[in-house]
A and B are shown apart, each in its own frame.
Chain A
């Protein structure tokens, strides 16, 4: 096989991994995830019959972006918030997986906070994206969202028997390499997980993918393997990321990896453009490429199911 053929094969494989459209609901039964089209799931008894909505993931709101790919990121974020507020069975948590703002400007953070405060859910959890830490002093994000992690950027919490871990992989960049968690954070997460039983459902979230999706564009975390070694013993692990503005999923043993759509603008499929910049699509196609992810908790077995909704 020539290098060119290998590259094409890889691109096609990556394309097949990307889910689009109305959304997919993932149900875990006997250790195997079964994808169910969201429309089909809704047709039967609805997602509520499958499990209790646990939390909603929103990502890459990029407040401050105003270019052709979406001149109205404020409007699309607010539509996402309306979608969450309109859910009949309200989830308790919202998790924002980073790139809250586009340029880390104080006024962008202020506007984003104003919109996010409209959420009816009781708790908002966040992790920074590299667009949130691009200010010269790396301080604007932490001024507003740093208290949960004591300004370290990583923390954990429990909700409804599920253990959540918020990690940061945008502060420790080395030239020319993938994102990294760093030794200090890895030592902390090891200790945090050591205190949990293997039957505790685990949700881990960070901004950049915690598995390598496409190295030439930096879509991965170099030292994530050390984290995965710690997670392998758990019966139900859900790993959530943003950053790539499209849904890509992978299941590895009991670990389900899921990247979310952006509420702001889509990005090209890996390797199909010179770089991972904003993807311009006709205005009528844009809402189908933006969205939110909700996660339900299943009682029997005790595990988590994912579903995606477009705007």
Chain B
């Protein structure tokens, strides 16, 4: 349900994305947000708390995926403006890649 809602938000486009950037911060209930832009995760490393969601938003013209290198989660293709959210339930360091462009990597540190 959460995932569907996030995708819907993504479809609403840039206006929604800008709004999120104001409301979302590492401490807010909506969790951490990572932008995907110019074939990079930005920021490339984020810190979050157990139970707090991380949302990735694709702002490129090209689709990307958000995939855990251990198989923990896999977003499916995110077209322009689409978002994917995952909530980590265990502390640790997690590595993420885009399987369409595996040179794109990022790290999530869950405390």
A residues neighboring B (CB under 8 Å): 67, 69, 102-105, 130-131, 133-136, 170, 173-179, 216-218, 274-278
Contact code string B81-111 (vs A, CB < 8 Å = 1, else 0): 0000000000000010101111101000000
| A–B pairs, 25, beta carbons within 8 Å | A69-B61, A102-B63, A102-B79, A103-B63, A103-B77, A104-B76, A130-B99, A130-B100, A134-B65, A134-B77, A135-B76, A136-B74, A174-B69, A175-B105, A176-B97, A176-B105, A177-B102, A177-B103, A216-B103, A217-B101, A275-B60, A276-B101, A277-B39, A277-B61, A278-B61
User: In whole angstroms, what is the CA distance A217 to B100 when docked?
Assistant: 11
CB-CB under 8 A from A134, the residues of chain B are 63, 65, 76-77, 99-100
* Bound complex: CA A218 to CA B38 (Å): 14
- Least CB distance from B105 to A in Å reads 5
Q: Quote the shortest CB–CB distance from A13 to chain B (angstroms).
A: 21
A135 vs B105: C-alpha distance in the bound complex, in angstroms? 19
Given contacts A103-B77, A131-B77, A134-B76, contact A276 B39 (CB under 8 A): yes
| Main SS class of interface, A | loop
Instruction: Pick the contact of B69: A131, A170, A175, A179 (CB < 8 A).
Output: A175
Q: Which of A136, A276, A277 has the most CB of B within 10 A?
A: A136
B75 within 8 Å of A (CB atoms): yes
Residues of A within 8 A of B38 (CB): 274-275
Are A173 and B76 closer than 8 Å at their CB atoms? no
A216 proximity list for chain B (CB < 8 A): 103
When the two chains form their complex, are residues A275 and B75 in contact, meaning their CB atoms are under 8 A apart? no
Q: Is the CB of A275 within 8 A of B39?
A: yes
Q: Quick one: given A131-B77, A173-B97, are A277 and B62 in contact (CB under 8 Å)?
A: yes
A274 CA / B39 CA spacing, docked (Å):
8
**9 residue pairs, one from A and one from B, having the closest CB atoms:** A275-B39, A134-B77, A136-B76, A173-B102, A103-B77, A274-B38, A277-B62, A218-B103, A175-B97
Chain B neighbourhood of A176, CB < 8 A: 97, 102-103, 105
Chain B residue contacts of A103, Cβ below 8 A: 63, 77, 79
B101 and A275 form a contact (CB under 8 A): yes
Smallest Cβ-Cβ distance to A180: which chain B residue? B102
A103 to B76, CA, bound (A): 8
A134 to B99, CA, bound (A): 7
Write the nearest CB–CB distance from A126 to chain B, whole angstroms.
Answer: 18
| Chain B residue contacts of A104, Cβ below 8 A | 76-77
Residue in B79, B97, B99, B103 whose CB lies within 8 Å of A133: B99
CB distance from B83 to the nearest CB of A (A): 14
Chain B nearest CB from A251 CB (Å) reads 27
A276–B65 alpha-carbon span in the complex (Å): 15
Q: Which residue of A lies closest to B3 (CB)?
A: A136
- The CA-CA distance from A199 to B88 in the complex, in Å, is 56
Residue of B nearest to A278 (CB): B61
